[in-house]
Amino acid sequence: MTGKQEEVGTASDGVDAGVLVRQGTARGRTGTWIALIVAALIVGGAGWRWSSHAGGDSAGPGGPGLPQVVVSAPLQRDLAARLGFLGQFSAVDHVEIRAQVGGTLKEIRFKDGDVVHKGDLLFVIDPEPYEIRLAQANAQLESATARLELASRELTRAETLKRSDAGSQENVDQRASDQRAAEAAVDDAKARIRDARFDLDHCRVSAPFTGRIGTHLVSVGNLIAGSRAATSPTTLLATIVSLDPVYLDFDMSEADYATFLRERAAQKGPLASGVDVALAADKDFTRRGTLDFVDNALDRSSGTIHARATVPNPDLQLTPGEFARVRLTLSTPVPTLLVPDAAVLPDQSEHVVMTVAPDGTVVPKPVQVGDLRGGLRVIRAGLAPSDRVIVDGLPYAMPGGKVKPTNGEIRFASAPREE
């Protein structure tokens, strides 16, 4: 009776009560199966995701589920060691044009920015005051010459009278003194003429060398100050810079300077060495210069040392103040390893290249890097020619983890500027 009541309910519930119980029991069973199916799907999905990430450890190298990467041996090529810098052109000669005489500026004989040649007339200062001084000096010379002639004749008479005992020795001495004074006056007058002529000549200001002149800083009609003494105030008229050749100034870091000294000591060659030059807007290093100066001390504040190259400029296309890239070749071509620049990862103050061991393990290797050649980064040390470098898929390569390597190829972008 107890089991029957549990199945159909009490007599007072009637037929409807038994139907509700059966319906409720069927619904409960259906919900339970749905819950079990959903749970099985969730567990199965979680298991699949776990096996795709963690199950690779037991699958072995090259097994299914491992991250795929592309590897290649470093490209080996015979290249010369070199250093690259950013430099700036400067003029070999730079002169401020100032007048050595004062006066009113009468003429300007050039256009601003022109290329002027040595000896070309640039400025004309009013010469009239200096012409007057020259005329005065010439008149003083004539007067002094006349006095010298008179003193010479008087000395001759005094000596004649002395020989005939009609004159005294004192008179002879006096006439000789007058003659020497007259000679000195003549010399003084001649010096005044040279001085006046010097001032008159410098009323015409000429170019001291061939170069490009800047803008005129004083207009016609202005009164300018001029002096031969460097300490006296003078008026700056213009500036002129030489154009061919030009200097290319750049700074070496302490590490680059040490490399430079080491390579030079190994070669036992002179300081002078060729440098390749490319303007900021150019891709090719089409110009050639000569390294002819390295300073004698490092700058304490920047840790760099100043260097300078001389670059021919026959076409006058190089302008002082312009920036350019400098490439300094240090040695003869030697076997060099290269890898894509993207394969070199910065690690604080070092650089690291990811490699793959024979068992598929990712092994990071610290390396010393050089400049770019053919779009590839030069590896100076830390890498062997047989190493398999990861060149693609780096985001999936974790140090110590397993990967599935695929062979690739490193190519050198041949270009005249990179060889």
d(CA 142, CA 190): 10
Q: CB–CB of 370/344 below 8 Å?
A: no
What is the structure's pLDDT at 10? 36
* Strand extents, DSSP E, 169-321: 204-206, 211-213, 223-224, 236-241, 246-253, 273-279, 287-294, 304-311
Residues 83-91+244-329: name the CATH superfamily. Efflux pump adaptor protein, beta barrel domain (2.40.30.170)
What is the structure's pLDDT at 91? 92
CB neighbours of 124 closer than 8 A, spacing ≥ 6?
105, 106, 107, 109, 203, 204, 205
CA dihedral 160, 165, 166, 172 (to 10 degrees): 50
Farthest-apart Cα atoms in the chain, separation: 193
Place of tokens 């397993």: 402
Q: Which amino acid type is present at position 13?
A: D
Rg (alpha carbons) of the chain, rounded to whole number: 48
Place of tokens 């393990």: 361
What is the structure's pLDDT at 369? 84
What is the structure's pLDDT at 241? 92
Tokens representing residue 267 in the block: 């070669």
Q: CB–CB of 197/134 below 8 Å?
A: yes
Phi, psi of 76 (to 5 degrees): -110, 130
Q: Which amino acid type is present at position 12?
A: S
Tokens representing residue 72 in the block: 């290649």
What is the structure's pLDDT at 231? 67
* 419 residues of the chain, pLDDT tens digit each: 444 333 333 333 333 333 333 333 334 433 433 343 334 333 334 333 333 333 344 444 444 578 889 999 998 888 877 788 889 999 999 999 998 888 999 999 999 988 999 999 999 999 999 999 999 999 988 888 888 888 888 888 777 777 777 767 777 778 788 888 888 988 988 999 998 999 898 899 999 999 999 999 989 989 988 887 766 788 899 999 998 899 999 998 888 888 888 777 776 655 557 888 988 777 778 888 988 888 888 888 888 899 999 999 988 888 888 999 888 877 777 788 889 988 898 877 789 999 999 998 999 999 988 777 778 888 888 888 989 999 888 888 888 888 888 888 888 876 544 44
CATH number of the structural domain 98-241: 2.40.50.100
Number of Cβ within a 10 Å radius of residue 354: 23
Name the residue ranges covered by the structural domains of the chain: 2-53, 68-78+334-407, 83-91+244-329, 98-241
**71-102 burial: b if 16+ Cβ within 10 Å, else e:** bbbbbebebebbbbbebebebbeebebbbbbb
Place of tokens 């030079």: 264
Tokens representing residue 283 in the block: 């891709």
Helix (H) or strand (E) holding 88: strand 82-91
The contacts found for 129-132 with CB under 8 angstroms, 24 or more apart, are 129/103, 130/101, 130/103, 130/196, 130/199, 130/200, 130/203, 131/200
What helix, strand, coil percent values describe the chain, rounded to 5?
35, 30, 35
What is the structure's pLDDT at 269? 55
Helix (H) or strand (E) holding 178: helix 169-201
What is the structure's pLDDT at 205? 92
Q: Per DSSP, what are the bridge partners of residue 232? A: none
Tokens representing residue 237 in the block: 């008229």
Place of tokens 């400025």: 123
CATH number of the structural domain 68-78+334-407: 2.40.420.20
What is the structure's pLDDT at 315? 86
Closest CA to 221 of 366, 106, 95, 49: 106
